Amino acid sequence: MKKIVLFVLLLFVAAGIAMAQTGVKKKRPLPYEYGRVVINNYSEQAHLAPVVFDHWFHRSQFTCRVCHVDLAFAMKAGSTGIKAEDNSKGYYCGTCHNGKKDFDNRKVFAACSKEFGHKDLQRCERCHSLGKNVKKEHDFAAFSANMPKERFGNGINWEKAETLGLIKPVDFLDGVSIKRPKLKIQKDFSLEPKVEGMPKIVFSHKKHTVWNGCEVCHPEIFAGIKRGTTKYGMVDIMQGKYCGTCHGAVAFPVLDCQRCHTEPVE
Amino acid sequence: MKIMIIRSFLDGGMKRDPCRMFRKLLPAVILLLFACALGPLHAWPEVPFKQEFEDICSRTSDAESLSVQELEGLIARCDKLRPAIEKTGEPERKIYLKRLNMCKDLFVYVLDSKKAAARGTPNGP
């Protein structure tokens, strides 16, 4: 009888452990990992490792708009559905990664080819690198050494880096981007925080429009055009909605309260 | 004058030595090929609807300053262009439809806000 009771008890304990919300803390990415996107729509089907895309390098070269409007990369990781064939036709990554484009006095390697053999494996693994010990061409430590520092994210204050002329993100690709009239400079504005006593949020509309244009944020991320009409809070943002679409994924994370809550309480 | 030169070039050149014309044209052909090779290194392949697509989507930067009529006109042009894009193959179809949708959505969004402002009610959720 005692054995049965002990067995049932053990069974409950084991089931309890198995079903428990263990609450494993999500690992905060290291500066060089921040903004990293793993793309695995078709890679493993093709017996290749998933693609590891480092946002930090690309964002130092291009504005968000070039890739997320002109090249039509979706804002949500993996939702673009890039195929090797698309790249080899010269779209998506293949727009620049075509083996012809010059960068830093050399040709940008071609992303994908219609035919490939063992000799191309090294080139494939430059992107298809998840779980592989691939030496990256661009070293984050060397790149970030002279950049203005930031507490979180990549540890780089990208806005300041641009202001100081350390980065010059390209906003136009010949033959791909559309010649648009000059964007009207938007005025920065402040938003009321929900929590009493928190400093007001100063939203840099100017900086956001310069990097993103209008259509990256409106209406997909922010449906209300009039200030304050899109209601959201920190929980939504932490879940990756609204500001959290970028701030927490690529742009500085919302852990850095003072970056947004900057206006002192009157 | 130009016609005279071309005529004498064709008549004289072709009559005297047929190869001479090709030899004369060779530098021009090489130059043309060189110019083609120097074109935008990341240009996408040409699509038949490109001009209209660019005309429409170039207006996203100043959408805010457009009138209600202009915005409605652009939205109608987006709808009219859609079937032409849908006829193309992949990935052109997927890419241009996404880009066109982004443009149209922005125009609709600005239009709604203008109409809401005219009514005196804020839009959005």
Q: What residues of chain B lie within 8 A of the CB of A65, using their CB?
A: none
Strands (E), A104-149: 106-107
pLDDT per position as a tens digit, A185-238: 788 888 888 888 889 888 888 889 889 988 898 998 888 756 666 778 899 999
pLDDT per position as a tens digit, A41-62: 999 998 889 999 999 999 999 9
Please state the separation of Cα A256 from the chain's center in Å. Answer: 17
Q: Is the dihedral of CA B109, B115, B119, B120 positive or negative?
A: positive
User: How many Å apart are CA B73 and CA B67, to the nearest integer?
Assistant: 10
Q: What residues of chain A lie within 8 A of the CB of B46, using their CB?
A: none
Q: What's the whole-number mean pLDDT along residues A30-47?
A: 92
- Encode A227-266: b = buried (16+ Cβ within 10 Å), e = exposed: eebbebebeebeeeebbbbbbbbbbbbbeeeebbbeeeee
Cα–Cα distances in angstroms (integers) from residue A154 to residues A57, A60, A127, A258, B50, in the given order? 11, 11, 20, 17, 38
- B99 shares contact with chain A (CB less than 8 Å): yes
Gap from A185 CA to chain B (nearest CA, Å): 10
Q: What residues of chain A lie within 8 A of the CB of B98, using their CB?
A: 72, 74
Phi, psi of A62 (to 5 degrees): -135, 155
User: How many Å apart are CA A140 and CA A54, to the nearest integer?
Assistant: 10
A184 vs B61: CB contact, 8 Å cut-off? yes
Q: What residues of chain B lie within 8 A of the CB of A225, using their CB?
A: 109-110, 112-113, 123-124
Report chain A's C-alpha Rg in angstroms: 23
- B88 shares contact with chain A (CB less than 8 Å): no
Gap from A201 CA to chain B (nearest CA, Å): 20
Q: Which amino acid is at A147?
A: M
Strands (E), A126-263: 189-191, 200-203, 261-263
A226 vs B58: CB contact, 8 Å cut-off? no
Confidence of residue A94 (pLDDT cuts 50, 70, 90): very high
Cis status, amide bond into B91, omega within 30 of 0: yes
Among A74, A100, A224, the residue with its CB nearest the CB of B41 is A100
Q: Per the structure block, which two tokens stand in for A137?
A: 């061409």
